[in-house]
Structure 1
Amino acid sequence: MKGVVISSGKIASKSFYDEYIKDADFIICCDGGANVAYKYGFVPNLIIGDFDSVDKEVLEFFKINGIQIMEFPCEKDKTDTQIAIEYLAEKGFDEVVMLSCTGKRLDHVLANISLLYYLLERNIKGAIVDENNIIMMTRNKIKIHGKKGQLLSLLPYTQTVRGICTKGLYYSLEDGVMEFGNPYGVSNVIIEDEAIVEVKDGVLLVILSSD
């Protein structure tokens, strides 16, 4: 099952959201993410948060229309996005796509990237997607379906990542090693319809980007 989480970050175009929610089994809006749903006219299954960023009239609209709402205190030990991710994991979803999870707040962006690790630890396919990037994480093998000429960056998420092998990239690696603090894997280039990245030990951040 595929779950989609829409947070309070950068708002994209309607067509962007349509692409990712069209085959979703469950949609969660985190706080201000409900403003996106209201703006573009799609209906979430659940709205969660402390509701410090959602418009009051938007929240009232969804309440009147019977959408499930879970409210949490402002002073808590988890972000709204984390609560949503944990909810989907507990419900048995095997794929989670995170939208509006990037933007001006770098602290939230980094926190959201760390949630990819939470999903990885539970064997749940996860991705953070915006209009310019798809951010993923792997500890074994991942296939990337991009376009020739697109940029693909590989960054270590653990202190050391060993046994990195790549196919379909301009700068190839065979049994490569990456260490935290030496980001030489930035801005590789896809040269085939499908790129493959394999890892033997450690966790690798994989970022597909378009300018």
Structure 2
Amino acid sequence: MSDSFTILLGGELEKTERLMAAMAGSRVIAADGGMRHAEALGVVPELWVGDFDSADPALFERYATVPRQTFPREKDATDGQLGVETAIALGAKRLVLAGALGGTRSDHALQHVVYAVHLAERGLDVLLTSGEEEMVPFLAGTVEVDLPDGALFSILGLTDLAALTIENAKYGLDRRDVPFGPPMTICNVARGRVRLTHEGGRAIILSRPYDFTGV
């Protein structure tokens, strides 16, 4: 059984080739209102979790056969976290957080980013996606991001970054110490598959694989 799980979250989600490729072969869990994405993606989740305060009532009839895990509204976790932790309990090693970005709740979107870094520190492979934008945690070590030539990407440092190297991009770096705060690593342009390395710190790589405005 697959150890790759897609969690449907309540943010923006556009069906794209990259999104469908990322989801291919994964098991699917919907978190509350994230179930609204299921029909467009052509999936039926194996489980639906949450307090169900944001799901369209019509979804309950449409997905009446999907097992639900119901939680109280007053709780110490978001519905998205409940979906993720359920997936981990079922053996997840790789997570696609679909609908993690955008939407009307910036607090939830930002929390997904922070939580993804935490999950990466626990050893999980995590992708956050809106279909149009993608984010992956960037801890010490090397990450390769497969992007079209000319696509935009940025590195968002959450701490100081030690000895950052950027290869196969318009603006390269060679073992540069990057302080937390200044936007030095925003709006770079991929020259195909980008290779990124640093020796200490935490960051997020944000990619816009369909955006070629930086060319």
Counterpart of 1:76?
75
Amino acid at match of 1:35: R
Following superposition, the deviation at residue 55 of structure 1 comes to 2.1
User: What do you get for the CA RMSD once the two structures are aligned?
Assistant: 1.8
Retained in 2: the 8 A contact 1:14–1:40?
A: no
Measured at CA, do residues 16 and 32 of structure 1 come closer, stay the same or move farther in structure 2, by a change above 3 Å? farther
Secondary structure of 2:174 counterpart = coil
Query: C-alpha deviations, 1:47-96, integer Å up to 9, x for none?
Result: 01110111223224423x2x221111111121111111222223331110
- After the TM superposition, list the runs of 4 or more consecutive aligned residues in structure 1 that deviate by more than 6 angstroms: none
**CA–CA separation in structure 1 for the residues paired with 2:16 and 2:48:** 19
Counterpart of 2:53?
52
Measured at CA, do residues 17 and 32 of structure 1 come closer, stay the same or move farther in structure 2, by a change above 3 Å? farther
Tell me the TM-score normalised to structure 1 length. Answer: 0.89
Retained in 2: the 8 A contact 1:85–1:115?
A: no
**CA–CA separation in structure 2 for the residues paired with 1:104 and 1:203:** 26
Report the identity percentage: 24
Following superposition, the deviation at residue 137 of structure 1 comes to 0.9
**CA–CA separation in structure 2 for the residues paired with 1:61 and 1:14:** 24
Counterpart of 2:8?
6
- Gaps in structure 2 of 5+ consecutive residues: none
**CA–CA separation in structure 1 for the residues paired with 2:84 and 2:207:** 22
Measured at CA, do residues 10 and 166 of structure 1 come closer, stay the same or move farther in structure 2, by a change above 3 Å? same
Counterpart of 2:106?
106
* Residue range with higher mean Cα deviation, 30-39 or 14-23: 14-23
Counterpart of 1:123?
123
Tell me the TM-score normalised to structure 2 length. Answer: 0.88
> Is 1:168 matched up with 2:168?
yes
Counterpart of 1:23?
25
Secondary structure of 2:150 counterpart = coil
Measured at CA, do residues 14 and 207 of structure 1 come closer, stay the same or move farther in structure 2, by a change above 3 Å? closer
Retained in 2: the 8 A contact 1:154–1:204?
A: yes
Retained in 2: the 8 A contact 1:119–1:126?
A: yes
Following superposition, the deviation at residue 38 of structure 1 comes to 4.1
- Gaps in structure 1 of 5+ consecutive residues: none
Following superposition, the deviation at residue 9 of structure 1 comes to 1.3
**CA–CA separation in structure 2 for the residues paired with 1:28 and 1:17:** 16
**CA–CA separation in structure 2 for the residues paired with 1:126 and 1:118:** 10
Counterpart of 2:188?
188
Following superposition, the deviation at residue 15 of structure 1 comes to 6.3
Following superposition, the deviation at residue 11 of structure 1 comes to 3.8
Measured at CA, do residues 135 and 49 of structure 1 come closer, stay the same or move farther in structure 2, by a change above 3 Å? same
Measured at CA, do residues 32 and 195 of structure 1 come closer, stay the same or move farther in structure 2, by a change above 3 Å? same
Measured at CA, do residues 132 and 11 of structure 1 come closer, stay the same or move farther in structure 2, by a change above 3 Å? closer
**CA–CA separation in structure 2 for the residues paired with 1:58 and 1:19:** 25
Counterpart of 2:138?
138
Retained in 2: the 8 A contact 1:8–1:101?
A: yes
Structure having the higher strand fraction is 2
